[in-house]
Structure 1
């Protein structure tokens, strides 16, 4: 992963130093577990706890010779011990250490993702409250529809982030597990109690059943969850980009005093953060297909998954945390131009009252829906073609046939479009945010 898109916490978690120290800690815990059931002498367990170290450079030297990472690791540890070294890796296969450690690193990384998601949720909820009663033109198919609450846009995303966190919590439950069950996963040379001991110490769950490896459907589900989160990030970023267009200009990313938008055009202010998030979100989603392929291992295990996981796992955590953090920052600095928002509402020249009028006449008269619809549609076409106010066109074209002018005036009130906004806010579950903060 290039430095531009890294997160310090994630980099530290997935560093060689932390990974191999986690391997060493699991080896020590397994020794202590054996000691707790009387297989390894307590004195040897204490010596291993206090003396065993890992010299990464020495390990790499040994790996060049023996072409096996775990053998190089255990022998590098053994070089720091005396006779007690015989208990290192006792009854284990490589993935008892590798997969348990990797799942533990995933656990630590998931906490970082979760915390960044909570911050994003807090920011969205703050914006939702701030703009609850601010009207903005709603659009469907990119075309003016009816005004809606600007706050509802942020509330919608807040609610979606809540669902994404719920999915994340479920995927955490599935992936944050131990795998200490031996070469074929059937505890022939190790006892289930050993795994239970380590799981408790690392605060991991125990896998129900496995082979030589943790089954990769668990990883595929986690990355699918991340891809879903990324789709939400891009959804929000895309909306910012759309509103930043020159012909709209209702929202804009914050722009620093010395910031430059273009190397050739000094006037440019591009939505670079949102575009960055969009691009990285697509990259995150690309990992999903690889993760599903990794579930297709031969018999009890092969290592076709191993090489790509060394890349995609630290990368996906780095990019995801970076993207969430950048989106939060972008939203906190978002510039909402209420003048442009109001200008576009006025530009619509009341055309957005067409459905309001349609439903009112249907409700208060006995005219057929078809007759009313066709009359209103003709009036909207005339208003748009002539760039005139919809209400005035109605008055000029005998709207009195359906409704009085007095009733018409009462209908054409912009605040009508906010009439149930409060009820929507009351529906939204914010308990997850309160619990997590």
Structure 2
């Protein structure tokens, strides 16, 4: 039984896709498709393919026995093929000769994994779509909500919350496009036999490959990829990026939930976000899960990336085996992250008043860049910068708002009227291209949505 924290790091529907039973079904799907493809081309008798297909559709496979025999055989395909052959032989001894004909264990396991990954991507893409809608709605609702932009964790200058959300959305739109591309490029058939040359099939190799790819509805690669694992590394990195993007979103939320900031909050619920010691606490929970998941994924991606150069010659000893649980685990983590993100965003509370309040904390210092820009035509860039830099140090020392301090300076009086200076301290006029960039991302989302439909 998994530990109590298991559900933090997985999503039950994706768990089911990578369970032992699902893996066996995927492996048997390959064996069934292989027999049908070879029969269609004339490599094996059609009657033999029918018997093999019938046995492959059986549901009562001894998973415990397969697991134990895997420890002896070195991979799960060997005991499964042996078990399949025995079952076929009970019905037709002649047909048993053609089970797994021309294939190797890695063909079975790699193609089974690809089939499982297809199903997992279906699930994750279905999760991603409503998440993008939530982000688009949030960015639209807060297009004009003023807040402080922060750099190096310090207040920098005004932005809009819609602009911040648009940044989250933009990253996930790229992630969606990346997964769509890799679905076609990375999830391909594996079929090469012992050393990838399919020598057993002779001149009929290309026809069998084409037929098998059609049976499984998978693209046929240029050549088998037993020792060339870049497709899987590419997919692993894409999943890691999704988790990283969601972790960035969540980390922003955690920081905005700090007591001293208090600009957003996770939705309140009974028993959520409390402390075992401090009754007053309202901790980030869902966002914390997302940050934790994002922290786990880089090491998993690294496992595949580090192994890329370790696949010796035509088949690897160890590097291939090290992959087996990595992509399933990345899929579990990504699906969990998408589910947590949906929960987080669907109930996110945004405190506009607190955002506006926090804009005043620096007593005008966050508008220093705007004042410098307004003075530059009069004083030159260097002189303007030096003047406002000194003022930004002196005004807080005197306990004055920067605007009030500047109004007293002769250099300012000669260059700007009081009304012109006051206008520079209006946060609504200081957000730069926040609206433009937000609208551009929202337009991109609408375009993507229309192309999906």
For 1:6 and 1:406, locate their aligned partners in 2 and report how far apart those are by CA, in whole Å: 57
Displacement of 1:105 in angstroms is 1.1
- Sort the Cα spacing of 1:102 and 1:390 in 2 relative to 1 into closer, same or farther, 3 A: same
Of 30, 37, 59 in structure 2, the residue corresponding to residue 26 of structure 1 is 30
CA contact (8 A) 2:274 2:281 kept: yes
Check conservation: 1:243, 1:251, Cα contact below 8 A. yes
Post-superposition Cα deviations, 1:307-365, rounded to whole Å, max 9, x if no partner, equal 433322221111111012102211221111122111111223222222222212223x3
| Equivalent residue number for residue 71 of structure 1 | 78
Equivalent pair of 1:66/1:72 in contact (CA under 8 Å): no
Is the Cα–Cα contact under 8 Å of residues 85 and 96 in structure 2 kept in the other structure?
yes
Return the offset for 1:176. 0.5
Task: Indicate if the aligned counterparts of 1:226 and 1:285 stay in contact, CA closer than 8 A.
Answer: no
User: Which secondary structure state, in structure 1, belongs to the residue aligned with residue 117 of structure 2?
Assistant: helix
The alpha-carbon distance between structure 1 residues 77 and 423, as it changes in their structure 2 partners (threshold 3 A), is same
Which residue of 207, 214, 226 corresponds with 1:193?
Answer: 207
Q: Does 1:216 align with 2:229?
A: yes
Work out whether residues 30 and 198 of structure 1, in 8 Å CA contact, stay in contact via their aligned partners in 2: yes
Structure 1 residues 64 and 198, CA gap change in structure 2 (3 angstroms): closer
1:281 paired with 2:297, answer no
What CA deviation, in whole Å up to 9, does each residue of 1:114-141 have, x standing for no partner?
2222232222111110100010011122
What is the distance in 1 between the residues matched to 2:323 and 2:191? 20
Note if contact 2:257-2:264 (Cα within 8 Å) is conserved in structure 1: yes
1:318-397 equivalence runs, <5 A: 318-363=332-377, 365=378, 367-397=379-409
- Give CA-to-partner distance per residue, 1:137-171, whole Å, 9 cap, x none: 11122222211111000001111111112222233
Cα distance between partner residues in 2 of 1:99 and 1:39: 23
- Greater CA drift, 401-410 or 333-342: 401-410
What residue in structure 2 maps to residue 259 of structure 1? 272
* 8 Å contact kept, 2:227–2:313: no
TM-score scaled by structure 1? 0.92
Deviation at 1:63, TM superposition (A): 2.5
User: 2: CA distance between counterparts of 1:248 and 1:279?
Assistant: 22
**In 2, Cα distance between the equivalents of 1:64 and 1:204?**
27
The number of equivalent residue pairs is 434
1:137 aligned partner: 148
User: How far apart, in 2, do the equivalents of 1:220 and 1:255 lie?
Assistant: 39
What is the CA distance between 1:421 and its match in structure 2?
3.5
Assess, with a 3 A threshold, how the Cα gap between structure 1 residues 422 and 99 changes in structure 2: closer, same or farther.
same
For residue 13 of structure 2, what is the aligned residue in structure 1?
Answer: 9
Q: Which structure 1 residue ranges, 4+ long, deviate > 6 Å from structure 2?
A: none
| Higher mean C-alpha deviation, range 367-376 or range 234-243 | 367-376
* Superposition TM-score, scaled by structure 2 size: 0.89
Match of 1:432 in 2: 448
Q: Which moved more, 1:269-278 or 1:397-406?
A: 397-406
Kindly report the root-mean-square deviation, in angstroms, between the aligned alpha carbons of the 2 structures: 2.3
Runs of 5+ consecutive residues of structure 1 not aligned to the other structure: none
**Residue 409 (structure 1) shift:** 3.3
Deviation by residue 1:217-258 (Cα, 9 ceiling, x = unmatched):
221221122222222111111111111111111112122134
